């Protein structure tokens, strides 16, 4: 039976279809209201004639279907199968970063705000999302200047003999030392929540009421405090521009260039445009399916779900998807493609942002290509260094010795390919032996098969380090597999009289050449090499400090009776440093699997006695 004949027997009910290639690998997962009609449309000569659809169908050798009772169940099943199989032609959001939110648990005695990634259903209030951790922390910094709430865990604050520095500069009301009543502190928390919800007018009215009330009771210091808070809030509220009636809305923008798609998200919170996010993806199929799959993958992965989602085009599954998102959100969600009015203008603005971002990426890519071409020419490399790797060693007298790998692809940081190496076979301070172990592990046959080889390897150091690595590569039979250079840092030296200080240029050493290549200082090729060297150094130092910190926390834990290997590992995993462990309360220590209260109290007592 041919594939076309098999399709004629597919049911007309909702479900999910899986396309397999010649090797039996699932290359695409889709959903449909009518399975037979949807799958048949891929084979119609008068149907979808786009090249990318034809390209997909040329690879399909078999299709299997799974029936569901409703379209909503088909959406859930499709999402599960995509996460399980990672098909080649489905939308991949792996380059998209996690959203950040501000969290507050209003049931605590003196609540505080923290920056978090996840939004579990734990009864806390979450505000955001924010496009990055730095953006969320900046909002938090601005907020605590207006609302002096506590910054640290309550147990840490209570253990202090006097209020912290934040109280001295007016950014903490010191509830831990009884300098503010529980009622007034909760009023600050309520005000901060109103501020984050964008309800500035309500907040101004509440603060005016409290100021006048304190003034009438001749509590002038308290009235002055509410007055100062009122002024700070009024200045911020004046800067906000209302774009719609109050409500939470996400606006999706869309721009396509071949198989590259740029998606733009505008976040409107309480009627105010509060932020945006740009998401580049690669996509082979039609635009409608791309937008539908993006909504499904994005909002079902712990992202904040607003009351309304505005799209640049109509999608077939808008109704079942809105029902599904409404169940997850716990409230009504609408998905629409506005054709006129302010909402249509917002969609057009989001699409304009997406188009602009795509053009900026093209310009940045072209600029990076020019830098790589110049670097290849100046250093006489055998190939264009699209992938550059740099290695560094960090150690203190042979203890906690580690290596690091930083990777730049296309002239930009490729963080998923960064690697740490714990030096295992070298005892004492022997940097060359450590480099030999590092390169032996990086360029094992199985690792090369899995990760490939770079175009260029950069070594931190001068001609000595370069010759040592060159010898290691000869031993490993890797000579000629990629280009190799070393970058020596600039040196600060006194002049002949010993009074004035001069600074030498950074130098690049090449194999087989005694004299270094001196690139023009602050030129783009030199800055690129220096950037990857500094990244490798930073990455090694971070890992080295982490190991030293774990050694410190391990020694503290081991000194407490009742903590065996399982509790030790759980504590190391959960806290990671003495500082974080010291900030934990007894209740937080009790949350560790297998922990009992007497041991938790002993550990807490030991840490605070220290």
3-85 placed in CATH 3.40.1440.10 = yes
Average pLDDT over the chain, rounded to whole? 81
Confidence band for 96, pLDDT divided at 50, 70 and 90: very low
Average pLDDT over residues 82-103: 74
In the CATH hierarchy, which fold is given to the domain comprising 559-609?
DNA polymerase; domain 1 (1.10.150)
Hey, what's the torsion of the CAs at 213, 214, 218, 222, to 10 degrees? -170
- In DSSP notation, 531-587 reads HHHHHHHHHHHHHHHHHHHHHHHHHHHHTSTT--HHHHHHHHHHH-SHHHHHH--HH
249-358 placed in CATH 3.30.420.340 = yes
Domains of the chain, by residue range, sit at: 3-85, 100-239, 249-358, 387-540, 559-609
Rounded Cα distance between 412 and 433, Å, is 30
- Asked if 361 contacts 280 with a C-beta cutoff of 8 angstroms, the reply is yes
The alpha-carbon radius of gyration of the chain (Å, integer) is 30
What percent of the residues of the chain are helix, what percent strand, and what percent coil, each to the nearest 5?
45, 20, 35
Q: Which residue has the higher pLDDT, 82 or 56?
A: 82
Rounded Cα distance between 442 and 11, Å, is 52
pTM value surpassing 0.85: no
Rounded Cα distance between 443 and 394, Å, is 20
Token readout for 332 is 């009504």
Confidence band for 38, pLDDT divided at 50, 70 and 90: confident
| Whether the predicted pLDDT of 46 surpasses 60 | no
Token readout for 574 is 């959960």
Q: What is the pLDDT of residue 396?
A: 66
Least confidently predicted of 173-177, 433-437, 497-501, 511-515: 497-501
| Among 363, 387, 364, residue whose Cα is nearest residue 375 | 387
Confidence band for 312, pLDDT divided at 50, 70 and 90: very high
Least confidently predicted of 1-10, 204-213, 346-355: 204-213
| Among 110, 101, 113, 272, residue whose Cα is nearest residue 192 | 113
| Whether the predicted pLDDT of 578 surpasses 50 | yes
Rounded Cα distance between 479 and 473, Å, is 6
Confidence band for 47, pLDDT divided at 50, 70 and 90: very low
Q: What is the pLDDT of residue 456?
A: 94
Residues 6+ apart with CB under 8 A from 246: 198, 199, 270, 271
249-358 matches 559-609 in fold: no
The CA–CA distances, whole Å, from 64 to 83, 84, 416 equal 18, 16, 34
Rounded Cα distance between 502 and 395, Å, is 29
Tokens 């996460």 map to which residue? 83
Average pLDDT over residues 344-371: 89
Token readout for 296 is 């499904």
Sign of CA pseudo-dihedral 127, 129, 134, 135? negative
Q: Which residue has the higher pLDDT, 455 or 395?
A: 455
Q: Determine the distance from the C-alpha atom of residue 122 to the mean position of all C-alpha atoms in its chain, rounded to a whole number.
A: 22
The strand pair at 334-336 and 308-310 is best described as: parallel
| Whether the predicted pLDDT of 407 surpasses 80 | yes
Q: What is the pLDDT of residue 484?
A: 93
Average pLDDT over residues 325-331: 88
Give the tens place of pLDDT for each residue, 364-378.
Answer: 888 889 999 999 999
Tokens 């190991």 map to which residue? 547
Any idea what the Cα angle at residue 350 is, between residues 346 and 352, rounded to 5°? 115
Phi/psi for 228 (5° steps) reads -65, -40
| Secondary structure string (H, E, C) spanning 230-279 | HHHHHHHHHHCCECCCCCCEEEEEEEEECCEEEEEEEEEECCEEEEEEEE
| Whether the predicted pLDDT of 608 surpasses 70 | no
Q: Which residue has the higher pLDDT, 265 or 201?
A: 265
Confidence band for 610, pLDDT divided at 50, 70 and 90: very low
Give the tens place of pLDDT for each residue, 167-220.
Answer: 888 788 888 888 888 888 888 888 788 777 766 566 677 777 878 888 888 877
Residues 6+ apart with CB under 8 A from 44: none
Give the total residue count for the chain.
610
| Among 307, 268, 304, 246, residue whose Cα is nearest residue 103 | 304
Q: What is the pLDDT of residue 239?
A: 47
| Whether the predicted pLDDT of 500 surpasses 80 | no
387-540 placed in CATH 3.30.420.340 = yes
Strand partners of residue 310: 251, 336
Rounded Cα distance between 161 and 184, Å, is 23
| Secondary structure string (H, E, C) spanning 192-229 | HHHHHCCCHHHHHHHHHHHHHHHHHCCCHHHHHHHHHH
**SS3 of residue 137 by DSSP:** helix
């Amino acid at each position: 039976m041919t594939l076309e004949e098999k399709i004629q027997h597919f049911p007309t009910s909702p479900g999910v279809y899986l396309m397999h290639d010649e090797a039996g690998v699932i290359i695409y997962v889709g959903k449909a209201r009518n399975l037979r009609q949807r799958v048949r449309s891929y084979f119609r000569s008068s149907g979808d004639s786009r090249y990318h659809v034809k390209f997909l169908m040329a690879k399909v050798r078999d299709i299997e279907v799974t029936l569901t009772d409703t379209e909503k169940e088909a959406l859930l099943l499709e999402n599960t199968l995509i996460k399980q199989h990672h098909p080649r032609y489905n939308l991949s959001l792996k380059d998209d970063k996690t959203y950040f939110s501000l969290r507050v648990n209003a049931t605590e005695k003196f609540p505080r705000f923290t920056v978090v990634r996840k939004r579990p259903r734990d009864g806390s209030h979450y505000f955001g999302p924010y496009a990055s951790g730095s953006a969320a922390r900046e909002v938090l910094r601005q907020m605590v200047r207006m609302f002096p709430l506590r910054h640290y865990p309550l147990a840490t604050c209570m253990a202090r003999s006097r209020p912290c520095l934040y109280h001295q500069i007016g950014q903490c009301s010191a509830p831990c030392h009884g300098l503010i009543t529980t009622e007034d502190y909760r009023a600050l928390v309520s005000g901060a929540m109103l501020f984050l919800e964008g309800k500035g007018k309500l907040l101004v009215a509440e603060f005016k009421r409290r100021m006048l009330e304190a003034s009438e009771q001749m509590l002038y210091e308290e009235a002055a405090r509410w007055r100062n808070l009122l002024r700070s809030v009024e200045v911020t509220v004046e800067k906000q521009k209302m774009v719609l009636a109050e409500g939470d809305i996400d606006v999706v923008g869309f721009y396509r260039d071949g198989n590259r798609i740029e998606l733009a998200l505008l976040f409107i919170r309480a009627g105010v445009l509060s932020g945006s996010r740009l998401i580049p993806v690669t996509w082979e199929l039609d635009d409608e399916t791309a937008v539908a799959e993006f909504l499904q993958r994005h909002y079902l992965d712990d992202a904040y779900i607003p009351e309304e989602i505005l799209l640049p085009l109509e999608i077939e599954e808008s109704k079942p998807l809105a029902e599904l998102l409404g169940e997850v959100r716990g409230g009504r969600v609408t998905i629409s493609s506005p054709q006129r009015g302010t909402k249509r203008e917002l969609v057009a603005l989001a699409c304009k942002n997406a188009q602009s971002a795509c053009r900026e990426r093209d310009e940045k890519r072209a600029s990076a290509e020019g830098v790589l071409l110049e670097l290849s020419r100046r250093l006489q490399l055998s190939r264009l260094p699209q992938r550059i790797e740099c290695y560094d060693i960090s150690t203190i007298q042979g203890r906690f010795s580690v290596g690091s790998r930083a990777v730049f692809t296309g002239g930009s940081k490729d963080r998923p390919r960064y690697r740490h190496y714990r030096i295992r076979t070298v005892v004492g301070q022997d940097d060359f032996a450590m480099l030999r172990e590092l390169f032996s592990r990086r360029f094992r046959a199985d690792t090369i098969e899995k990760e490939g080889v770079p175009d260029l390897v950069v070594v931190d150091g001068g001609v000595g380090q370069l010759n040592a690595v060159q010898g290691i590569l000869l031993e490993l039979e890797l000579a000629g597999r990629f280009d190799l250079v070393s970058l020596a840092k600039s040196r600060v030296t006194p002049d002949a009289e010993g009074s004035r200080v001069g600074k030498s240029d950074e130098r690049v050493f090449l194999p087989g050449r005694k004299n270094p290549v001196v690139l023009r200082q602050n030129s783009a090729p030199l800055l690129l090499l220096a950037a990857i060297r500094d990244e490798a150094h930073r990455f090694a130092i971070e890992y080295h400090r982490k190991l030293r910190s774990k050694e410190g926390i391990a020694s503290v834990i081991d000194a407490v009776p009742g903590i065996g290997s399982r509790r030790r590992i759980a504590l190391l995993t959960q806290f990671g440093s003495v500082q974080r462990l010291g900030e934990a309360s007894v209740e937080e220590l009790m949350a560790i699997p297998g922990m009992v209260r007497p041991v938790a109290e002993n550990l807490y007592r030991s840490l605070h006695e220290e």
